[in-house]
């Protein structure tokens, strides 16, 4: 049975609405993209949609109680929630440097979680994460 899937291209601000006709997971036709990049995007987005996940993890002894992190590469969209859950259990110690690997392999994706800023240690009493 053929079905129609619509995907909005986000490769550029124009945001073309692309319609895919698919059958059994195969793309039969593709319409609405203004350029070749959009067609590529729609194919990828249909087969394996991925996203960079930005979030935060707990820090002890830092000038702030949380440090921002992201996945070093995009991960499958379906794993975003699981990744956030796994990161909720992680705690690192200040100082943290931009680019530090916080988790090596998040949710078995093979992708690392890295810090996205320097977070110095607090000079006086540490700020508690609650």
Contact partner, 4, from another protein, ligand SF4, none, Cβ < 5-8 Å per class? none
Q: Residue from 5, 27, 56, 60 that binds another protein (CB under 8 A)?
A: 56
Tell me if 122 sits within 8 A of 62, measured CB to CB.
yes
Closest to ligand SF4 by CB, 37 or 48: 37
Instruction: Give the span between the Cα atoms of 54 and 66, in whole angstroms.
Output: 13
Residue matched to tokens 């079905």: 3
Instruction: Give the span between the Cα atoms of 42 and 11, in whole angstroms.
Output: 10
DSSP annotation of 32:
-
- 14 to 43, contacts with ligand SF4 by CB under 6 A? 14-16, 33-35, 37-38
Q: Residue from 2, 4, 6, 12 that binds ligand SF4 (CB under 6 A)?
A: 12
DSSP annotation of 40:
H
Q: Which residues bind ligand SF4 (CB under 6 A)?
A: 9, 11-12, 14-16, 33-35, 37-38
């Amino acid at each position: 049975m053929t079905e129609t899937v619509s995907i909005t291209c986000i490769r550029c601000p124009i945001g073309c609405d692309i319609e895919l006709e698919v059958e059994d997971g195969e793309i039969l036709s593709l319409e609405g993209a203004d350029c070749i990049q959009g067609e590529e995007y729609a194919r990828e987005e249909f087969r394996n949609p991925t996203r960079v996940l930005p979030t935060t993890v707990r820090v002890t002894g830092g000038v702030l109680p949380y440090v921002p992190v992201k996945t070093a590469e995009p991960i499958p969209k379906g794993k975003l929630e699981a990744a956030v859950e796994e990161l909720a259990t992680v705690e690192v110690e200040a100082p943290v440097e931009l680019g530090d690997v916080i988790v090596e392999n998040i949710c078995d994706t093979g992708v690392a979680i890295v810090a996205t800023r320097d977070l110095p240690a607090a000079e006086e009493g540490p700020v508690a994460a609650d």
